[in-house]
Structure 1
Amino acid sequence: MPYVFLLAAIAAEVFATSTLKATDGFSRLWPTVACLAGYLVSFAALSQAVKDIPVGVAYALWSALGTAAIVAIGAAFLGEPITVVKVVGVGLIVAGVVTLNVGGATSH
């Protein structure tokens, strides 16, 4: 169940970050409400996940998968270019998360 909370936290964070540009600096009401609600749900779900998942591992997964998803969303829907530097950067983030999970799995 903690990984269900973690996946919900990631999905809510990706939703919130995806709406961030539409807030226009938090000057537009409904995009701002959607953004803040997404972050609220994300942190609430993340707080449940870390009851059973080490916080470092949970946060690494949350931030890395969220980052990778936002890069993909930016490329697919916001016209942001995918560059070699972005691909290498996301790859390094994923490698770091894998390293933390392999090391974290033996140290409960």
Structure 2
Amino acid sequence: MRAWTALLCAIALEVTGTLSLKVFTSAAAGPGLELILTYALLAASYVLLSRAFRQIPVAVAFAVWEAAGLILITGLGALILGEHLTPTQLGALIALSLGAALLHHGTRHAPRPATPPPGVTDQPRALPGIRQEPA
């Protein structure tokens, strides 16, 4: 559960950091503290994403992070910044959601072998040219 919490926090930080880029670049003042804040938010997002990778498969975590981030950024851009959404863009957001959900569904139900495959042993394999001491 902690991995999913880290992933959701990573998404929130990514969305905040990305939207702040738009807000800060439209401000009359030059880059300064605002730019440092944006970088810090995006860096923290990647740190939390890396923590989510510890328990969530990379394909699932990255797909959810990207899809949710894009959907939220696009939606908030339309609501807050007045950006226009076309039907094609809405279809793409739906496709992103479906893709992330399919990756999650396909990964979650993957069977795990109960026994090791034939030929696999618990004994470490000797490397060629290296002498190993008996245990």
Which TM bucket (shorter chain)? over 0.9
Q: CA RMSD in A?
A: 1.5
CA distance in 2, matches of 1:72, 1:33: 25
CA distance in 1, matches of 2:83, 2:22: 13
Matching residue within 76, 79, 82 for 1:76: 79
Higher relative contact order structure (alpha carbons within 8 Å, sequence separation ≥ 6)? 1
Matching of residue 105 in structure 1 with residue 74 in structure 2: no
How far off its partner does 1:77 sit? 0.9
- Residue type matched to 1:11 in 2? A
Normalised TM-score (structure 2): 0.75
Matching residue within 60, 64, 86 for 1:61: 64
How far off its partner does 1:106 sit? 2.0
Matching of residue 43 in structure 1 with residue 41 in structure 2: no
How far off its partner does 1:36 sit? 0.3
Normalised TM-score (structure 1): 0.92
> The residue matched to 1:87 in structure 2 has which SS?
helix
1:12 maps to what in 2? 13
Choose 1 or 2 for highest CA Rg: 2
Instruction: Check the 8 A contact 1:22/1:28 in 2, yes or no.
Output: no
> The residue matched to 1:52 in structure 2 has which SS?
coil
Instruction: Check the 8 A contact 1:23/1:29 in 2, yes or no.
Output: no
Determine which structure has the larger helix proportion and give its number. 1
CA distance in 1, matches of 2:23, 2:35: 8
1:28 maps to what in 2? 31
Q: Which moved more, 1:68-77 or 1:14-23?
A: 14-23
How far off its partner does 1:40 sit? 0.9
CA distance in 2, matches of 1:31, 1:23: 6
Moved over 6 A (4+): none
Matched residue pairs, number?
Answer: 107
2:4 maps to what in 1? 3
Q: Which runs of 5+ in 1 are unaligned?
A: none
Q: Which runs of 5+ in 2 are unaligned?
A: 113-135
Instruction: Check the 8 A contact 1:22/1:31 in 2, yes or no.
Output: no
